Amino acid sequence: GVYSFEDSPFIMEILTELRDESTGPIAFRKGLVKLGRYMAYEITKTMATEKVPIRTPLEETEGIIVKDRRNVVIITVLRAAIPLMEGLIKVFEHARVGIVSASRGKAPKFEIEMKYVKVPRIKAEDTVIIADPMIATGSTLIKVLDEVKKYGNAKRYVVVGVLAAPEGITRIKEAHPDVEMFVAAIDRELNDHGYILPGLGDAGDRAFG
Ligand code: HSX
């Protein structure tokens, strides 16, 4: 499934700040951290819960645990996803974290160069969350997913982003039909240089200069 949150006023307000060209790097990074945390909350809503008996200081009652919250691997696509990961790991505090570097070449080929890959072992019960703020042509995530899937067979693969272009979503679904996507919003289109419109510019540059 593809989930986007245009109906969430809180998320749309953060996105508005991220889109605004007058937002500087400090506020931009803070916005990405907040979005990461919110997306993680949304992902927990899709995880199974188990009832557990507990005792409050006053009486016996029943609580729940979200078991799969403990079985998470986060893959951070450098460099723009660093603040997004920081937000995700606040909710998935047990997560093992992998790092992948990816840079996209120029139009029309948009070739992806992956120079660094460090991925922890992936187990059958894991939810693998791949964080990358922008899903433009989808080429980066397709390549990252190809690579990450070599490290073991996970229970779920979930992409977390800020903005996606319809073209990118379609291409990822074709290449990796098992992948779920959580993005703040789906934007209109890509321009000839492969930038999302209206978008927010280059997330890495906006966050880190
Ligand atoms: C930007 O381009 C993002 O952070 C992604 O890593 C990448 C997305 O482009 P695409 O491969 O989806 O076209 O640097």
> How does pLDDT run along the chain (209 residues), one tens digit per residue?
999 999 999 999 999 999 999 999 999 999 999 999 999 999 999 999 999 999 999 999 999 999 999 999 999 999 999 999 999 999 999 999 999 999 888 888 889 999 999 999 999 999 999 999 999 999 999 999 999 999 999 999 999 999 999 999 999 999 999 999 999 999 999 999 999 999 999 999 999 99
pLDDT at 139: 95
Q: Which atom of ligand 1 is closest in space to residue 143's alpha carbon?
A: 11
pLDDT at 108: 87
- Give one DSSP letter per residue of 106-130, joined into a string: -TTT--EE---EE-----TTPEEEE
Q: Residue whose CA is closest, atom 4 of ligand 1?
A: 134
ipTM of the complex model = 0.95
pLDDT at 88: 98
| Ligand 1 centroid – CA 140 distance (Å) | 6
CATH 3.40.50.2020 fits 2-208, yes or no: yes
pLDDT at 109: 87
Q: Which atom of ligand 1 is closest in space to residue 165's alpha carbon?
A: 12
pLDDT at 185: 98
Q: Which atom of ligand 1 is closest in space to residue 138's alpha carbon?
A: 12
Mutate which of 82, 100, 140 for ligand 1 pocket (most atoms within 8 A of beta carbon): 140
Q: Give residue 17's identity as a one-letter amino acid code.
A: E
Taking CB atoms and a 6 Å cutoff, what residues make up the pocket around ligand 1? 77, 80, 102, 104, 110, 132-140, 168, 194, 203-204
How far is it, in rounded angstroms, from Cα 23 to Cα 3? Answer: 26
CB neighbour list of residue 203: distance below 8 Å, 6 or more residues apart: 32, 80, 133, 134, 162
> Is 31:14 a contact under the CB 8 Å cutoff?
yes
How far is it, in rounded angstroms, from Cα 173 to Cα 180? Answer: 9
Give the Cβ contact number of residue 86 at 10 Å.
Answer: 17
